[in-house]
Amino acid sequence: MTATSPATSHTTYLTAAFYKFVELSNFAELKEPLLAFCESQDVKGTILLANEGINSTIAGPAAGVRAVLAFLKNDLRLATLEHKESWSTKPPFYRMKVKLKREIVTMGVPTVNPNEMVGKYVKPRDWNALISDPDVLVIDTRNTYEIDIGTFKGAVDPRLKSFSLFPEWLMAQPQIAESEAKKAGEIDKKTKVAMFCTGGIRCEKSTAFLKAQGFDEVYHLEGGILKYLETVPEAESLWQGECFVFDERVTVGHGLKVGDYGLCRACREPISQADKESPLFVLGLSCPHCHGRKTEEDLARFKERQRQIQLAKQRDDA
């Protein structure tokens, strides 16, 4: 997907988010050439590589980001790679990382393969009608701290600390179906389930998991919350709050405009303006969510990291 750059001349950073489930048997060999090319284009962010595919968000000059996308698509396995774009006036990332992983999104269920089976994709324009159906169970597959700042009206909140806990949570839920079988600990696999996440990748695995369990009707929001916020007018939206993103923007709202939250560098949770005004907030070291929970070694490490962040910002401003 290609977005049009805003007309304002001060907008200089293009962010591209993308993933693809595809067998990359030589993924370890891709790391160094990819890292070198990104650095040569002044592109920063994180790219995860695994045997099951690629997952990434990168940012930088528009020409550099597009060059990296073209570089990736030169690999025939990634030729159909799709991405989502947004723009910002501040750098979303301060360094470039390419990491080798067992999974590009960790569920911890080796038998789940989105390349073989996933739920039905639902376009953002059709999502409102689906989740407004009283016979559809809507589940937010994201983590607690993400849901706390925004979600779809009526969605079930699993209160997950990590996505890897999702299978266990799902199978234990009495909310899955209103039936005597359910109350006895069995899941009614005829239940209609609609799931969503930030960009769509977690739903690829969560819907694949449900399909593998024998669920008949499983749906997920194509392109995730970000695509919905980009394309559905705010006046028609069923989204409430802001959407957490994994970069320096922290949160976005309708039209993918940068939101009002910051990020605690110590616990990586979003923080509001009220959190920043708390006496428990110390830039880079603590916030009301994590104050008093870190060791002296942690605090020393955080102080050094904050110093490095400030140096990186100064280099970008120079």
Q: Any idea which residues carry the catalytic annotation?
A: 197
3-state secondary structure string across 80-97: CCCEEEEEECCCCCCCEE
Instruction: Round to whole Å and give the CA distance between 259 and 249.
Output: 7
* DSSP label at residue 143: B
Helix, strand, coil shares of the chain, percent, nearest 5, are 35, 25, 45
Kind plus residue range of the DSSP H or E element containing 274: helix 273-276
CA distances from 188 to 55, 156, 236, 299 (A): 33, 17, 32, 48
Side-chain half-sphere of 185: how many Cα atoms within 13 Å?
0
Whether residue 261 contacts residue 279, with contact meaning beta carbons closer than 8 Å, is answered with: no
Strands 239-241 and 150-152: antiparallel
- 108: region left, alpha or beta (phi > 0 left; psi from -120 to 50 alpha): left
Whether residue 150 contacts residue 247, with contact meaning beta carbons closer than 8 Å, is answered with: no
Q: C-alpha angle 187/189/193, rounded to 5°?
A: 105
